């Protein structure tokens, strides 16, 4: 619910797939005629989606981008919240029209839901406390049996920890499971676990906001592409892809990159 090869906005925040047409912004988009799109997220994955600690409002990159998509398609958004572990199944059953939570596009998930074009590409990194000196990479972490990793079950972060950091055993007692990504980060801060794996998007946000609390160690692991999810056969896939393409071409996505990955100050 995925820098030492340093993350840059161009390479890791929005290395959107495909050749985006330079004249897309001039093309007419489908008109959804005021349709209400029921969109769901977990609201716990900064800076993509989260509750602003200052205002209590739900904010983030995905909120801004999808609200803009709806505006361009002449649609309205009815935002809903659900837990990560129920989101894909709920969208598959049609309880929501579209889901988003930095969801990695994977073949097994494609059997359950349809995906939009990738709107962001990132890699997995090891987040640690800023004063961590016991290990500097995945190899060093694996070699010390006392070290623990925090993860959210069923996420790319969890599977990367299992198969690229540890021994491939999904029941490994060195993995401590948390209901949300935010809780795993709190556990890391408190010293209950020693690393949390996260994609470059989120790691950049945390390190930038809390340079005295967190840092990134080691090399990037794996590569993940994020997409919106829909019920199989959804008629929203093509219009939303068209809006994404237009927003890439006219610089709107870069504007939101700047807002959330450069300018925004996350407070906890």
Lowest mean pLDDT among 8-17, 43-52, 188-197, 253-262: 8-17
- Which CATH number is 124-221 given? 3.40.190.10
Comparing CA positions, the residue from 50, 61, 46, 49 lying closest to residue 202 is: 46
Band of pLDDT at residue 209, cut at 50, 70 and 90:
confident
Topology agreement, domain 9-121+225-263 and domain 124-221: yes
For the chain, the domains span 9-121+225-263, 124-221
Q: What is the spatial distance between Cα 255 and Cα 241, in angstroms, rounded to a whole number?
A: 18
Looking at residue 130, its pLDDT comes to: 97
Mean pLDDT of the chain: 88
Q: How many CB atoms lie within 10 A of CB 153?
A: 15
Q: Which residue has the tokens 């692991």?
A: 221
The one-character DSSP state at 137 is: S
Predicted confidence (pLDDT) per residue in 78-114, tens digit: 999 999 999 999 999 999 999 999 999 999 999 999 9
Q: What is the spatial distance between Cα 60 and Cα 264, in angstroms, rounded to a whole number?
A: 10
CA neighbours closer than 13 Å in the CB half-sphere of residue 157: 33
Spatial contact of 33 and 76, defined as CB atoms under 8 Å apart: no
Q: What is the largest CA-CA distance in the chain?
A: 58
Residues forming a β-bridge with 75: 35
Predicted confidence (pLDDT) per residue in 119-152, tens digit: 998 789 999 999 999 999 999 999 999 999 999 9
Q: What are phi and psi of 197, to 5 degrees?
A: -85, 140
Looking at residue 265, its pLDDT comes to: 64
Q: What is the spatial distance between Cα 243 and Cα 250, in angstroms, rounded to a whole number?
A: 11
In the sheet with 49-51, reading across from the earlier edge strand, the strands are 44-45, 49-51, 58-59
The CATH architecture one would assign to domain 9-121+225-263 is: 3-Layer(aba) Sandwich (3.40)
pLDDT of residue 28 exceeding 70 = yes
Band of pLDDT at residue 239, cut at 50, 70 and 90:
very high
The one-character DSSP state at 102 is: S
């Amino acid at each position: 619910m995925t820098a030492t090869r340093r993350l840059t906005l161009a390479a890791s925040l929005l290395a959107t797939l495909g050749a985006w047409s330079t004249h897309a912004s001039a093309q007419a988009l489908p008109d959804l005629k005021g349709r209400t799109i029921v969109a769901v997220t977990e609201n716990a994955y900064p800076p993509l989606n989260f509750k602003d600690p200052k205002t209590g409002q739900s904010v983030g990159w995905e909120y801004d981008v999808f609200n803009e998509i709806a505006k361009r398609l002449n649609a309205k958004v009815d935002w809903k919240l659900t837990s990560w572990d129920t989101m894909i199944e709920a969208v598959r059953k049609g309880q929501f029209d579209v889901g988003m939570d930095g969801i990695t596009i994977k073949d097994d998930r494609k059997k359950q839901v349809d995906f939009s074009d990738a709107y962001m590409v990132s890699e997995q990194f090891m987040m640690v406390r800023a004063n961590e000196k016991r290990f500097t990479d995945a190899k060093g972490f694996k070699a010390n049996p006392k070290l623990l990793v925090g993860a959210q079950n069923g996420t790319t972060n969890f599977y990367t920890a299992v198969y690229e950091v540890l021994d491939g055993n999904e029941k490994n007692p060195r993995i401590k499971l948390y209901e949300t990504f935010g809780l795993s980060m709190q556990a890391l801060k408190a010293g209950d676990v020693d690393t949390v794996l996260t994609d470059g998007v989120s790691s950049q946000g945390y390190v930038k906001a809390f340079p005295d609390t967190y840092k990134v160690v080691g090399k990037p692991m794996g590569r993940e592409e994020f997409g919106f999810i829909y019920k199989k056969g959804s008629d929203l896939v093509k219009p939303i892809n068209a809006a994404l393409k237009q927003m890439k071409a006219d610089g709107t996505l870069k504007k939101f990159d700047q807002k959330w990955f450069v300018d925004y100050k996350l407070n906890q």
